[in-house]
Structure 1
Amino acid sequence: MTFSLRSFLITLVVIIASAIGYGEIRYLNGWYAHSDKVNADYALKKQKAEARLVPIEQKAATANAGGKVIYRTITREVVKYVQDPNRTVCRFDDVAVSLRQRAIDAANTIPGFDESTVQAQPGGKGQ
C-alpha cells in the first residue's frame, strides 16, 4: 500500500469541503426554521392584538357616531357666534354661555368618552 501525497491531499480537501458544505446546509436550515418560528409568533401576536382591538374600535365607532350629530349642530351655532364683527370683545352673553354648556353636556353624554385608554407595557410590548 503506497500512499501518495497527492491522493491524500485530495481526499483531505474533499472531506473538509464536504464537512463545510454539510455545516452550511445545517446552519441555513437552522436559520430558516428560526425565521419560520419568528414569523409564526408574529402572526399569532398580531392576531391576538387585533382581537383585543375589536371591542375598543366598536366602542370608539359608537362614540364617534353618537358625537357627530351633536358636533354638527354645535358647529353651526359656534360659526354664527364667531362671525360676529365684535369677536375681539370678550363679553359673553347668555347665548354663548348656554352654547358652551350644551357642548359640555353633549360631550358628557357620549358613551365611553372618558374611559381609560389601553396602555402598552414599557418597551412597546402589549399585555
Structure 2
Amino acid sequence: MVRRLPESFREKLYFQYQGRYAIPRAEFNKMMEESTDTKQDIVRRPQGGPFERRIASDDRLKEEVSTAIMKTIRWPSTIQTIKGPLTAGFRKSWLYLREKREKHKKSQKALKSQATGSTSGEKADTKKGQ
C-alpha cells in the first residue's frame, strides 16, 4: 500500500521515516533513486522494497501518514485563509473561518471520545433503550 501512494506524497512519508530511523542521507538518496517511478526502463513495481516493507509494518504508520497529510495541506490552507478576506470579503471569510474552527473542535472532541473508549457511548445507548 505504501508503494502505491502518489509519488510526491510517498516522498514526504519516506523523508519522515528517514529522520525517524536515522538513515544517512547518502543511503536514503540511493533508496529514493531505486524506488522512483519516473525512469522509463523500470516497470512500476506493485510491491515495495525493504524500506517500504519496514514502513508498512510500523505500528505508527497511521500517525505518520496523518502528519504527512497535514504537512501537505498546511501551506495551501494558510494561503487560502490569507486570500479569503481579499477575495470573498471580511464577513464571509470570518463566517467561513468560524465554521472551520467549530468543525475542527467537533472532530477533536470525537477523537477524544474514541480514545477514551466506547464505554461511555454504550452507557448512553443502554439508557436510551430502557
Task: Give TM-score, length-normalised by structure 1.
Answer: 0.27
